[in-house]
Amino acid sequence: MQAIRDFLRVWAQRWRWGVLLSLHCLCACSVHPVLQPANHRPFRFERDSLAFENKLASGRQGKEGEDDYTLHCFVITRSARQFFQFARFDGDAPALDDEGYRKLVKEVIAHDPSEPTPPRSQRIVIPGYWNLHAFSKAREDLLKDELGSAMDSFMQRGNWRMVFPFSHEHQEETALSLAAEIRRNRPPVVHLVVFPALSIDHAVLLYGAADTPAGIRYEVYDPNDSARPASLFYDRSRRSFNFPANKYFAGGEVDVYEIYRSAEY
């Protein structure tokens, strides 16, 4: 009998501690952590975008070779994010020759955008220029050679997601998540798609988010237009995204999801 009482006492103690631990975990999970800034400053279109753009053929994205630089929207947006995240520019430092810059560019794009942003002191220094826009304007051919090919767009690891339905709940969660990332100075790259019609199948970078009575308006770096920012709107009542008409899209509702954010995307 004593053995049975000892067993029951031990079991009761373990059960009590298990309940307390579970309650602690539940309380801890219910507290939303304060997200620290991912970068020391926000993305700026005029300095952090590339000076060249993804070319369009006959008003739409054509086959590679039909134009100078087509089907590189994923490459351009990913690269802009990588330079913002892993590089810093020093215009006072002496400029390098092409081979020196090629080496640095390869080091920058070797980092996956899903990696944590390192401190500024640990980032790859690009000497001779003050920002990516100036660097890409002066070294356009070099960057086009090194940043990646059109195949990187076709083989982007998150392309699988577009074939599955997007619920209104998913788009609402996405809208809030994207705005939170922008506030952390971590500009998300997103895939805009209408599937299976593929009236748009495009990558852009979001760098600003403003709440309005009707929803959230995002400032957009569109690699198809290096001259001016674009916009994307999340309609809170419809719980859907709308991308305005431009030179390659008739405008309307699009599905949106973030890419370059994990091993799956």
Over residues 68-82, the pLDDT tens digits come to 799 999 999 999 999
Q: Please give the residue that has the higher pLDDT: either 136 or 11.
A: 136
Determine the pLDDT at residue 37. 85
Rg (the chain; Cα; Å): 23
Q: Which residues pair with 221 in a beta bridge?
A: 205
Q: Residue 167's Cα: distance from chain center in Å?
A: 21
Instruction: Report the pLDDT value the prediction gives residue 67, as an integer from 0 to 100.
Output: 52
pLDDT per residue as tens digits for the range 196-220: 999 999 999 999 999 999 999 999 9
Per-residue pLDDT tens digits for 251-261? 999 999 999 99
3-class SS shares of the chain: helix, strand, coil, % to 5: 40, 20, 40
Measured at the CA of 72, the angle between CA 165 and CA 104, to 5 degrees, comes to: 120
Residue of 34, 128, 135, 36 whose CA lies nearest to 84:
135
Mean pLDDT of 56-66: 51
Instruction: Indicate if the pLDDT at residue 130 is higher than 90.
Output: yes
Identify the DSSP state of 70.
Answer: B
Q: Is the pLDDT of residue 14 over 90?
A: no
pLDDT, residue 25, reads 37
**Separation of alpha carbons 221 and 75, rounded Å:** 13
Are 51 and 79 contacting, i.e. CB atoms less than 8 angstroms apart? no
| Domain-wise residue ranges, the chain | 45-154, 159-259
- CB atoms under 10 Å from CB of 142, counted, come to 16
Six-digit token string for 64: 């590679």
- Mean pLDDT over 118-126 rounds to 97
> Beta partners for 220?
206, 230
Task: Kindly report the pTM of this predicted structure.
Answer: 0.83
Confidence of residue 139 (pLDDT cuts 50, 70, 90): very high
Kindly tell me the sign of the dihedral angle through the C-alpha atoms of 203, 124, 40, 32. Answer: positive
Sorted by sequence, the CB contacts under 8 Å of residue 255 that are 6+ apart come out as 162, 166, 171, 192, 193, 194, 195, 241
Cα–Cα distance between 257 and 254 in angstroms, integer?
Answer: 10
